[in-house]
Amino acid sequence: MAAFLVLLLAQSAYRLPWEEGKNFRCTQGNDGRLSHNGDARYAFDFSLPAGTKVCAARGGKVIEIKEDESEGGFEERFKTRSNFVKIDHADGTTGLYLHLQKDGALVDVGDTVLQGDVIALSGATGYVTTPHLHFQVNKGDSWESIPVAFADVAGNGVPTADGSYTSANPGVGPLKEEIWLLRRQTKLALQYGAYAFAWVRLKRLSEMKVKVKYEPVDGAKAELEALLKKGEAHADEIEKMPIDDAVRAWLLARRAWNGTPVEKRIDKISLQSKEGYAAAHARALATDKAQDAFLRGLKGEFEGKAPDLAYKEAVKAAPESDFGRWARERLKR
C-alpha cells in the first residue's frame, strides 16, 4: 500500500521532461541491465538527440549544476564526467537531469523553475553510448533514486524500455512572470499588513488556469481562506480591546481590509458610543494618516508608479509608528 501511494503521488506531480507534443523513445527503464542498477535503479533513459530542449519534470529550486564536460563514452573514466542539472522539489526529493551537452544548462543555481520550464540542452557527456537524457528522482540530495511515475504516461505512469512517449508538459509559459510578481507582491503586502492588497493577489492566483500542477497557484486558495479567517479573528479581537487600542486597531483594520469580505465584519464593530472614543480617535489620527500614505506608496510600487512622495508623507505623519518605520525602509530600497 505504501509503495502504491508513493507511485500515485509521483504520478500526479511529474511530467515527461521535454517539450509538449514531442515524442521520444525510452531506451532504458527501471532496473535496466545496461546501467540502471544500484543508486540508479529507478532511472529512465530517453532518446533525446543532442541539443534537444530539456524541460523540468517538476518545479523546484536549482541546487547544483555541472556543464564543463565535453566528452562521453562507455568507459569507467567517464562515469563521473556527466553534465547535469539538479532540482530540489522541496519535499525531500530532487530531480536529476544527466548527460547534458557542454554549457547546456539554461538555468543558474538558486533559480526557481516551474514544471515545463526549459532548463537545459541534452547531450552525450559522461557514461554514454549515444546522446540521450537520463532522468531520475533522488531521495534528498543524495544520488539514490526512488520510484517515480509520470502523469502523461498511460497506464501506471512508468515508461518501459522501447516504448515511445509523447510529452504533455506545457509549463505555464507567459504566466510565469505574472505568477512570480503576484507571489512577491503578496509577500510584501502581508509583511506590511496590507491585507486587501494580498487578498486581491491571492484571489488572482487562485483563479489562474494552468495546465500543470504548480504549488504557488494550487496553494493560493487555501492561503486566501486562511487570510479571511485571520481577518474575522482580528475583528473579534478588536471588540475586546481597551478603547484606545480598539479605536486605533479599528481605524487601521478598516483600511487594511477595504474591499475584502472582511470589510463588512469590520464595519459592524461599534465603538463610537463607548466612553473615551472621541479622545482615542483623536490620538489615533496620526497613525491613521501614516497608514493611508504608506499604503498609497506601496500601491504605487505595485503599479510601477513613483511611491516616494507618499512614503515621505507617512514618515512625516507618524515617524515612530510601524508605518513611518516601514516607509523609511521602502525609501531605502
pLDDT (tens digit per residue) in 77-120: 888 889 999 999 999 999 999 999 999 999 999 988 989 999 99
What CATH number is attached to the domain comprising 52? 2.70.70.10
Question: Which of the 8 DSSP states describes residue 18?
Answer: B
Residue pair 83/67 in contact by the 8 Å Cβ criterion: yes
**What burial letters (b/e) apply to 92-123, b meaning 16+ CB within 10 Å?**
ebbbbbbbbbeebbbbeeebbbbbbbebbbbb
Report the pLDDT value the prediction gives residue 209, as an integer from 0 to 100: 85
CA atoms within 13 A on the CB side of 304: 1
Q: Name the domain boundary from 166, 193, 217.
A: 166
**Whole-angstrom Cα Rg for the chain:** 27
Domain count, the chain: 2
Instruction: Collect the ranges in the chain with pLDDT lower than 50.
Output: 1-11
Closest to 112 measured CA to CA, from 182, 186, 169, 58: 58
Do 18 and 150 belong together in one domain?
yes
Under 8 Å between Cβ of 144 and 129: no
SS3 call for 96: strand
Whether residue 160 is found in the same domain as residue 247: no
Three-state DSSP at 133 gives: strand
* DSSP β-bridge partners for residue 112: 61
Q: Domain of residue 39: give its range.
A: 2-166
Nearest of 333, 304, 13, 55 to residue 181 by alpha carbon: 304
Instruction: Provide the pLDDT for residue 8.
Output: 39
Using the structure block, give the residue that is written with the C-alpha cell 538558486. Answer: 110
Is-contact 57 169, C-beta < 8 A? yes
